[in-house]
């Protein structure tokens, strides 16, 4: 997707800062999810400029939803005095007429409240029964070690393949005598 140029806000101190902000803004639209999240996280550390870019991408109607989710990640990664402003942007998005924007903002807000309450709703270990019977129901976090009965291999340490092919080849060898002919010596 081609990204149009961003208007310079006047807060950038140098040409290098302007180029970095533009580069990070373009990376929000990359196809690679890791690059999008990395760019959103770096923008979350850039105070008002980062907030403006993340807000612009979130509320842009023609932006792909993956870029909007990355912007939501950047908004929830904001720290310090910007966290309150990012929360205002997210709550503003909850009443937006666009369904994708509402979806991203509700998802981001849910993740923020889960983190604030100390719940980790998306971690597999937090869900009961997600790792099988050895982990389910253990409130102390202890892992139950169970013995697994061994299957008898029948032959000395060799596992049988499906259909007893190993036995069939062994029986065939016993039935068919092997004739060994002596080599003719050439003098």
The CATH number for 74's domain is: 1.25.10.10
Say how many domains are in the chain.
1
76 lies in a domain? yes
pLDDT tens, N- to C-terminus, the chain (187 residues): 455 555 555 556 678 888 898 999 999 988 888 999 999 999 999 888 999 999 999 998 888 999 999 999 999 999 888 999 999 999 999 999 989 999 999 999 999 888 777 765 545 554 455 445 544 554 566 777 777 777 665 555 555 555 555 555 555 555 556 566 677 777 6
167 lies in a domain? no
Taken as a whole, the chain contains a residue count of: 187
Query: How far is Cα 67 from Cα 154, in angstroms, rounded to an integer?
Result: 58
Determine the structural domain holding residue 47 and report its residue range: 15-119
Query: How far is Cα 68 from Cα 33, in angstroms, rounded to an integer?
Result: 12
pTM of the predicted structure, to 2 decimals:
0.58
């Amino acid at each position: 997707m081609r990204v149009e140029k961003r208007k310079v806000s006047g807060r950038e101190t140098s040409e290098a800062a302007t180029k970095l902000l533009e580069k990070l803004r373009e990376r929000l639209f990359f196809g690679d999810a890791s690059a999008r999240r990395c760019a959103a996280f770096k923008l979350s550390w850039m105070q008002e400029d980062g907030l403006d870019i993340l807000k612009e991408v979130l509320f842009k109607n023609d932006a792909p939803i993956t870029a909007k989710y990355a912007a939501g990640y950047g908004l929830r990664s904001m720290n310090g005095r910007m966290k309150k402003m990012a929360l205002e942007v997210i709550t503003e998005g909850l009443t937006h007429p666009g369904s994708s924007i509402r979806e991203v903002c509700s998802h981001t807000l849910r993740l923020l409240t889960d983190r604030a309450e100390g719940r980790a709703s998306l971690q597999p270990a937090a869900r009961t029964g997600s790792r099988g019977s050895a982990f389910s129901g253990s409130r102390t976090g202890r892992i139950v070690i169970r013995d697994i009965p061994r299957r008898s291999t029948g032959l000395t340490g060799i596992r049988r393949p499906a259909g007893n092919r190993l036995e069939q080849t062994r029986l065939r060898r016993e039935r068919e005598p092997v004739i060994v002919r002596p080599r003719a010596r050439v003098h």
